[in-house]
Amino acid sequence: MTFSSLFFLYFFLPICLICYSSTQKLEYRNIILVIFSLIFYAWGEPIWVSLLVFSAFIDYIHGLLIHKFRGKVWSKIALISSLTINLGILAIFKYSGFLVTNINELLSLNLTVPSFKLPIGISFYTFQTISYTIDCYWDKVKVQKSFLNFLMYVSLFPQLVAGPIVKYSTIEKEITSRKTTISDLSKGFTRVIIGLAKKVIIANNLSLIVDTILGGNISSLSYIGTWYGAIVYALQVYYDFSGYSDMAIGLGLMFGFHFDENFNYPFICKDISEFWQRWHISLGTFFKDYLLYLPLFGKRRKYASLFLVWFCTGLWHGASWNYIIWGLYFGIFVFIESFLGKKKIKKIPMIVRHIYSKLIIFIGFGIFYFENLKSLLNFFKNLFFINGNAFIDDITKISFANNIILILIAVVFCFPITKFIEKLREKSTKMLAVLDMSQVAVNVALLLISSIMLVDATNNPFLYFRF
């Protein structure tokens, strides 16, 4: 089941909200959320819902053990056990096939390559439960003694299958003490509609362009066509994933949870370090909090830690070399900027910084797109006109001409338009009333347009479902 489906929007969500609102007792509300969350997950993963419950149970027990033996060696053993089991499960399902394939190629062996269907959302909920046990060990959060409450945290359907990665500390208090205000419901509904529109109206249509341009024979694609495809793909990923995050945050508000932001207009960045402070913030925060400051070989090593973080950032996204290259590619530029220092970077003209950062970002998303390394090599050759292909091709010209309005809309809404509107609302009560009425009209229009576009949609998954 996906958020961007008519069944979810007009059947599952309304029934869940009705059941949730039928009682004021928080214990019952939590039970309702657990039931609906497990149904939501089992809808697409009837077998692997058991793995989700198992993962939650394992870390619930480990949390209790860490609390019981705090300050003793058994507490550290419990933490190591939690990390081993969680990362082991993730490695088996997500990386075992990739590992065996590379061993076969490297050593000329013929080992049987494991083939597992990747459980949806495993990368997200595994990192969430890991954050809980580590924070328990560091005494940053109180141990959760109710398995039902902990299962609700792990399985909470608004953010279960594609994030954002919600640390236990973020909603620790709201698990046992929360209420949904009219303001939360209104803001949540608006955020859901905006996220839905990002996905259905913009991202889905951008994906058609990407399939046409980059999905064909990349070796014969023109120079301009290659850059055009990479730029549109970067926009597609942004609107797809930020759209899901908007819907997740909005749905959380409807049930009284306040998740952290996951995107903050990343394309307005002036350098790559800033881009990663604005893009997939929950993943970057996770690695910063739990990996960047690890003592390697006895002490903290800044650049070795940076390499580890960016290697893991790439690997987290998928079991393929292009994702590892993608992570290290961005890591190199973060390292260079860190080495130069903020003072030297600020001396560079602003326009130069913007051009540099956008070029690096768009090339990076080309790396992200091509899992086949031969196609990736051809992509790089095309970018710099090494293949000897045409400067521009007819397919690219026709595609751009037919989709120029869509592309302009996608570019414009990469800027903080909503923040500008919020500032206008604060200036006067008249402006507040006008904008509130406009907001209602916009919400209705976006929901109607999105719903019409979903009528014939047979398969409408979010990109990050596969991670």
Give me the phi and psi of 447, to 5 degrees please. Answer: -65, -40
At 299 the pLDDT is 65
Provide CB contacts within 8 A for 67, sequence distance 6+. 136, 143
Place of tokens 């290697």: 311
The DSSP output letter for 158 is G
Residue 411 in contact with residue 228, Cβ under 8 Å?
A: no
Q: How many CB atoms lie within 10 A of CB 262?
A: 25
**The last residue of a domain, from among 422, 437, 459:** 422
Same domain for 16 and 146, yes or no, is yes
CA distance 245 to 124: 13
Output the CA–CA distances (angstroms, integers) from residue 266 to 118, 248, 313, 413, 416, in the order listed.
29, 19, 17, 11, 10
If asked whether residues 292 and 392 sit together in one domain, one would say: yes
Residues 225 and 146 in one domain: no
The answer to the question of residue 466 being in a domain is no
- Give the residue from 387, 403, 422 where a domain finishes: 422
Q: Are residues 113 and 232 in the same domain?
A: no
CA 463 to chain centre: 9
Output the six-digit token pair for 78.
């419990």
E strand intervals along 265-370: none
pLDDT (0 to 100) of residue 296: 58
Helices and strands counted in the chain (H then E): 22, 0
283, part of any domain:
yes
Q: Which pLDDT does position 420 carry in this prediction?
A: 72
* pLDDT score of 292: 74
Per-residue pLDDT of the chain (467 residues; tens, 9 = 90+): 788 888 999 999 999 999 999 999 999 999 999 999 999 989 877 888 999 999 999 999 999 999 999 989 999 999 999 999 999 999 999 999 889 999 998 888 888 888 888 888 888 899 999 999 999 999 999 999 999 999 999 999 998 877 788 999 999 999 999 888 888 898 999 999 999 999 999 999 999 999 999 988 888 899 999 999 999 999 999 999 999 999 999 999 999 999 999 999 999 999 999 999 999 999 999 998 888 777 655 567 777 888 889 999 999 998 899 999 999 999 999 999 988 888 899 889 999 999 999 999 999 999 999 999 999 999 999 988 888 888 898 999 999 999 999 999 999 999 988 777 766 666 666 666 666 677 888 888 999 999 998 887 666 667 766 66
Are 171 and 80 contained in the same domain?
Answer: yes
pLDDT at position 61: 95
Q: Does 198 lie in the same domain as 81?
A: no
Burial of 365 (0-12, 13-18, 19+ CB in 10 A): buried
Question: Has 317 been annotated as catalytic?
Answer: yes
H or E segment at 346? helix 342-346
CA distances from 20 to 23, 180, 271, 289 (A): 6, 11, 44, 34
Q: Is residue 427 part of a domain?
A: no
Last residue of a domain, one of 178, 198, 215: 178
Half-sphere exposure of 354 (CA within 13 A, CB side): 5
pTM: 0.91
On whether both 161 and 222 belong to a single domain, the answer is no
Torsion of CA 63, 64, 65, 69, to 10 degrees: 110
Q: ∠ CA(6), CA(160), CA(89), 5° rounding?
A: 135
Environment class of residue 72 by beta-carbon count within 10 Å: exposed (0-12), middle (13-18) or buried (19+)?
Answer: exposed
Q: Which residues constitute the domain of residue 377? A: 183-422
Q: How many separate domains does the chain show?
A: 2
Place of tokens 């014969």: 220
Which residues have a Cβ under 8 Å from the Cβ of 5 and sit 6 or more positions away?
Answer: 454, 457, 460
Which of 66, 284, 55 minimizes the C-alpha distance to 153?
A: 55
Residues 6+ apart with CB under 8 A from 19: 32, 36
Identify the CA nearest to 414 among candidates 282, 266, 249.
Answer: 266
159 and 194 fall within a common domain: no
Beta-carbon contacts of residue 315 (< 8 Å; ≥ 6 apart): 95, 323, 324, 327
Query: Residues 82, 187: one domain?
Result: no
CA of residue 13 relative to chain centroid, distance: 22
CB atoms within 10 A of CB 64: 17
Examine residue 399 and state whether it is found in any structural domain, yes or no.
yes
Do 156 and 192 belong together in one domain? no
Beta bridge partners of 299: 296
Q: Tokens in use for 260?
A: 């952290």
Q: Is 163 part of any domain? A: yes
Catalytic: which of 62, 258, 280, 317? 317
Q: Residue 385 domain-assigned?
A: yes
Whether 288 and 149 share a structural domain: no
Do 78 and 100 lie in a common domain?
Answer: yes
